[in-house]
Amino acid sequence: MLKDIIFSMVIGGSVGIISHVRKHGKIIMPRKTKKFVYLGFLEEILLCLVACLLVVIYTTPNSLVENILVSVLVGVSSDIILTRFKLLNEKNEK
């Protein structure tokens, strides 16, 4: 089980960094402004990593292939959810 958890976290982090580069075209480093801290690429890595971790713990895949498929699907769906929240926030600000 520990092997599955670690493997899903690696896949989730990889999907997070790939989605970040796909959206922005480059890796944006974390920075601190006067009002808040912008996490940059760490935001998407952590989101995908935690989502993959929770789903793999909950579903307990039986094989390595299931673990890969579940982790990739959860990573991509968490990226879609994050993008949707950002779009809703931009729409509410206007």
Contact criterion met (CB below 8 Å) for 20 and 45: yes
Task: Please state, in angstroms and rounded to a whole number, the distance separating the CA atoms of residues 41 and 49.
Answer: 12
Query: Residue 43: its pLDDT value, please?
Result: 85
Contact criterion met (CB below 8 Å) for 24 and 38: no
Task: Please state, in angstroms and rounded to a whole number, the distance separating the CA atoms of residues 47 and 16.
Answer: 7
pTM of the model: 0.75
Task: Give the SS3 label for residue 30.
Answer: coil
Q: What is the pLDDT along the chain (94 residues), one digit of tens a residue?
A: 788 888 888 888 888 888 888 888 888 888 888 888 888 888 888 888 888 888 888 888 888 888 888 888 888 888 788 778 878 888 887 6
Query: How many structural domains compose the chain?
Result: 1
Task: Please state, in angstroms and rounded to a whole number, the distance separating the CA atoms of residues 79 and 50.
Answer: 12
Task: Please state, in angstroms and rounded to a whole number, the distance separating the CA atoms of residues 53 and 67.
Answer: 11
Domain range for 53 is 2-93
List the structure tokens of 49: 């990593």
Amino acid identity at 72:
V
Query: Residue 18: its pLDDT value, please?
Result: 87
